Amino acid sequence: HREARGAIELRGVVLAFGAVRAIDGLDLDLRPGEVHGLIGPNGSGKTTTLNVISGYYRPQQGSLTLAGAPLPAGRPALRAPQGIARTFQTPRLVGEATVLQNVMVGATVEGRSTFLEALFQLPRQRREEREMEARARLALAAAGLAGLADVRADRLQHSELRFMEIARALMLRPAFLMLDEPAAGLATEEIKRLGALIRAIAAQGTGVLLVEHHADLIFDICDRVTVLNLGRELAAGTPAEIRTHKEVVSAYLGG
């Protein structure tokens, strides 16, 4: 894991698209080793929050820090060295490449090149490639896909692709992992496996932000939950606090 073991902190973050304030003064803390659920109705700012943290958007107001140091906005790849990885709502893949290759791609964004590395490029590359492959196989095993490593990615089922996405993100050994609706389209049994995988990732010290519609998954595995409404925090607390929170129940959980 990375040297940065501190929290990601958002303070008073505002992000507007024209007149629409997608995020309107949000405070949020993501801590190492914790699973933080982000829920709320459609359009409440969940994906935008994830995109701000992963560097797609620069907040127009407020601050975003990791271990107390500002996280500059930038291409998402630039976030990787800082240890923030993500998955997408729609899995991304190279269909003709193997599952293993698709996962190994996750490490290349790390792209380091020092003078010494350049000097010993060839042996270094081979060793790195072996190292990368070993890491990818471990990530695939963790994601329950060990047996599919050498299959073409376009042969995978939807649920397998979702697990492949997570394996790819793990290649970065991220300090923080942002998951955008990872349970979408999964069957109950697969959601259980997903929950176990996310808990295992957090147990390694990675902080997870989980944007998800499946309330059961959120309440089962999260340490803390933030409920958004109109780009603001409607409530925040433990799953037990959130599932009994009056406003949340009436506005969102429909109880």
Residue 53 has, within 13 A of its CA and on its CB side, a CA count of 33
Smallest gap from Cβ 16 to ligand ADP, in A, equals: 8
Exactly one of 46, 135, 162, 224 binds ligand ADP (CB under 6 A); that residue is: 46
Smallest gap from Cβ 43 to ligand ADP, in A, equals: 4
- Could you tell me if 248 and 44 are in contact, meaning their C-beta atoms sit under 8 angstroms apart? no
Q: Is 254 exposed, middle or buried (0-12, 13-18, 19+ CB in 10 A)?
A: exposed
Is residue 44 within the footprint of ligand ADP (CB under 6 A)? Answer: yes
Residue (84 or 103) nearer to ligand ADP, CB: 84
List the interface residues with ligand ADP, window 64-123 (CB under 6 A): none
Is residue 19 within the footprint of ligand ADP (CB under 6 A)? Answer: no
207-211, strands of its sheet edge to edge = 84-86, 176-180, 207-211, 35-39, 224-229, 232-237
What are the φ/ψ torsions at residue 136 (nearest 5 degrees)?
-65, -40
Is residue 40 within the footprint of ligand ADP (CB under 6 A)? Answer: yes
Exactly one of 32, 45, 83, 195 binds ligand ADP (CB under 6 A); that residue is: 45
CA distance 252 to 228: 10
CA distance 73 to 64: 9
Find the helix or strand (DSSP H, E) in which 27 lies: strand 20-30
Residue (19 or 119) nearer to ligand ADP, CB: 19
Residue (32 or 45) nearer to ligand ADP, CB: 45
Exactly one of 2, 13, 35, 48 binds ligand ADP (CB under 6 A); that residue is: 48
Strand residue runs (E) in 116-198: 176-180
Exactly one of 3, 19, 42, 114 binds ligand ADP (CB under 6 A); that residue is: 42
Exactly one of 6, 25, 33, 43 binds ligand ADP (CB under 6 A); that residue is: 43
Handedness of CA 201, 207, 213, 219 (dihedral sign): positive
CA distance 66 to 220: 27
Is residue 47 within the footprint of ligand ADP (CB under 6 A)? Answer: yes
Smallest gap from Cβ 22 to ligand ADP, in A, equals: 3
Is residue 214 within the footprint of ligand ADP (CB under 6 A)? Answer: no
Q: Which two tokens stand for residue 117?
A: 């590395």
Smallest gap from Cβ 77 to ligand ADP, in A, equals: 20
Residue (43 or 239) nearer to ligand ADP, CB: 43
Token pair 């609706």 is at which residue?
A: 181
Residue (199 or 213) nearer to ligand ADP, CB: 213
Q: Which residues bind ligand ADP (CB under 6 A)?
A: 17, 20, 22, 40, 42-48
